[in-house]
Amino acid sequence: VALPPLDSPQWNSSWLAFGWGLRSVTQTILTLVLFATYLGIGALAHDTHFSLLWALCSTLFVWAGPAQIILISTLGTGGTVVQAAIAVTLSAIRLFPMVVALMRTPTTKRRELFFAAHLTAVTLWVECHRFLPLVPRERRIAFVNGLGFGLVSVCLTANTVGYFLAANLTQTLGAAILMLTPLSFLFSTARNSREAADVVALALGVLLYPLAAKMNSGVDILVSGLAAGTIAYGVHWWREVRA
């Protein structure tokens, strides 16, 4: 189903726009990518001994795949709450400029944007760039709410399925599902790398972690992340200055 034209009566109410947002979930390949990622997060939560309710709450209230996997992996391997909190907050700063840009829509009130701000995450962001030009300006918030609501529902379903699969499948198949999330993040980050600094941050981040883990400092993930990220920023700075 294609979206109705901008002047269609199909856009006459907020609820209709919410419905079109909800239906647009079926119009993007990213829904499948999210499903696979959250299937993996459900399975990962199971194998690191978190409850299903915990996994669902993390999807509902954190609603950011990278933060969730950082949380599960750090806490699941015995990391401290403080280390997990710092790692999550560093990963979440990305959301800040997205919400700021969302606020650029003039004449909208802050409370109307509250729900949309919570739903703001990378996938939704990418989809907004694609869909919003096709949506009348005054119906965009309702549309985004519908799209976000649909994506959250897909991910909660995927979490539940992944959790039960991990509980019931043979070890080999269970292992395959556990690989879904790291692989999907690796590929999507690699694909979204636009400049050299992104590639350096990704590659060095992967390579430095095993080294940092040897130090066994209790904040390994922060050590490798800060080091690799700062070197990547150095590369960015060097290229900018020379340009």
Restricted to residues 40-99, the positions that interact with another protein (CB under 8 A) are 44, 46-48, 50-54, 57-58, 61-62, 64, 66-71, 73-77, 81-82, 84-99
**Contact yes or no for 200/177 (Cβ under 8 A):** no
Which residue stretch of 3-11, 23-31, 123-131, 189-197 sits at the interface with another protein (rule: CB under 8 A)?
189-197
**CA dihedral of 135, 136, 139, 143, whole degrees rounded to 10:** 0
190 binds another protein (CB under 8 A): yes
198 binds another protein (CB under 8 A): yes
117 binds another protein (CB under 8 A): yes
**Contact yes or no for 33/181 (Cβ under 8 A):** no
Is 6 or 186 the residue whose CB approaches another protein more closely? 186
12 Cβ contact list (under 8 Å, min separation 6): none
* Number of Cβ atoms within 10 Å of the Cβ of 183: 13
- Give CA–CA dist 75/70, Å, rounded: 8
**CA dihedral of 225, 226, 232, 233, whole degrees rounded to 10:** 140
The conformation of residue 105, written as its DSSP 8-state character, comes to S
Report the alpha-carbon angle 192-24-155, nearest 5: 65
The conformation of residue 103, written as its DSSP 8-state character, comes to T
Is 152 or 166 the residue whose CB approaches another protein more closely? 166
The dihedral built from the CA positions of residue 135, 13, 98 and 118, taken in this order, carries a sign that is negative
229 binds another protein (CB under 8 A): yes
- Minimum distance, C-beta of residue 195 to another protein, in the bound complex (Å): 9
241 binds another protein (CB under 8 A): no
| String of contacts with another protein for each residue 3-22, x by CB under 8 A | --------------------
Which residue stretch of 7-15, 17-25, 133-141, 218-226 sits at the interface with another protein (rule: CB under 8 A)?
218-226
- Minimum distance, C-beta of residue 77 to another protein, in the bound complex (Å): 6
* Site for another protein, residues 135 to 174, rule: CB under 8 A: 164, 166-167, 169, 171-172, 174
- Minimum distance, C-beta of residue 198 to another protein, in the bound complex (Å): 6
Binding footprint of another protein, residue count (CB under 8 A): 102
